[in-house]
Amino acid sequence: QVQLVESGGGLVQAGGSLRLSCAASGRTFSRYAMGWFRQAPGKEREFVAAISWTGGSTKYADSAKGRFTISRDNAKNTVYLQMNSLKPEDTAVYYCAGGSSSIYSDYSRYDSWGQGTQVTVSS
């Protein structure tokens, strides 16, 4: 498994931006697709975005398209999630996921998870 540590969460007003980071260590980071998921209170964990190991392919949930951008820097073993035009409904704990063979939206396809970082968007 790869060890993942998220950072960058916080409180922001609606319309604002945040950039989440996920630092990886352990198993070779650059060989695996990475993803971001989120979970709001009382709701199931849901897919947000994923990126291939090269960074050449990405996938987004409909709720993230046009507002969020996933990227990675394999030299730094880090994946990012740039979130713009944030809405109150984006409030959730955001989790970084790793170890997938492709850009799946199914969380069961990932075998490594971070501890999560809280994102709160106020109206």
Q: Quick: pLDDT tens for 93-111.
A: 999 999 889 999 999 999 9
> Residue holding tokens 């790869």?
2
Pairing of strands 92-100, 68-73: unpaired
- Please provide the average confidence, as pLDDT, over all residues in the chain: 95
Query: Which pLDDT score is estimated for 115?
Result: 97
Report the pLDDT averaged over residues 46-62.
97
DSSP at 32: S
Q: Which residues pair with 93 in a beta bridge?
A: 39, 118
3-state secondary structure of 24: strand
pLDDT surpassing 90 at residue 1: no
d(CA 104, CA 101) in angstroms, rounded, equals 8
